Amino acid sequence: MRLPILLCALLLASAPAFAAKPCEELKGEIAAQIEANHVASYTLEIVANDQVGERTVVGSCDGGTNKIVYARSAAAAPAAQTPPVAPPAAPTAAKSDTPAPAAKN
């Protein structure tokens, strides 16, 4: 007899934990978690359930009527350092087999 009463009391006490959260509040909490993981370039967007498509859902808000979707943006990473390519050397005059004339004194 006490078990059903205890379960009902526990269920009623935990109901606020399952209450619908406003989207902006949840979006801020998710953003804080993402930034804590050192992700610098990302987007979070609040969309209706039917507009999710192939995007990654990271939260549900407003009583399940909206979703928060995540996309990692291409970071503006520094370009790879490549050594500059030297222009081709100018052709040199062909050397002959005969020695140069000696200087006259």
What burial letters (b/e) apply to 49-85, b meaning 16+ CB within 10 Å? eeeeeeeeebbbbeeeebbbbbeeeeeeeeeeeeeee
From the list 90, 54, 86, 83, the residue with the least C-alpha distance to 70 is 54
Q: How far is CA 79 from the centre of its chain?
A: 17
Closest listed residue to residue 68, CA positions, set 87, 91, 90, 52:
52
- Summarize pLDDT for 18-69 with one digit per residue, the tens: 557 899 999 999 999 999 999 889 999 999 999 999 999 999 999 999 999 9
- Pair 59, 30: CB distance under 8 Å: yes
Range with the lowest mean pLDDT among 5-14, 15-24, 89-98? Answer: 5-14
The predicted structure's pLDDT at residue 72: 87
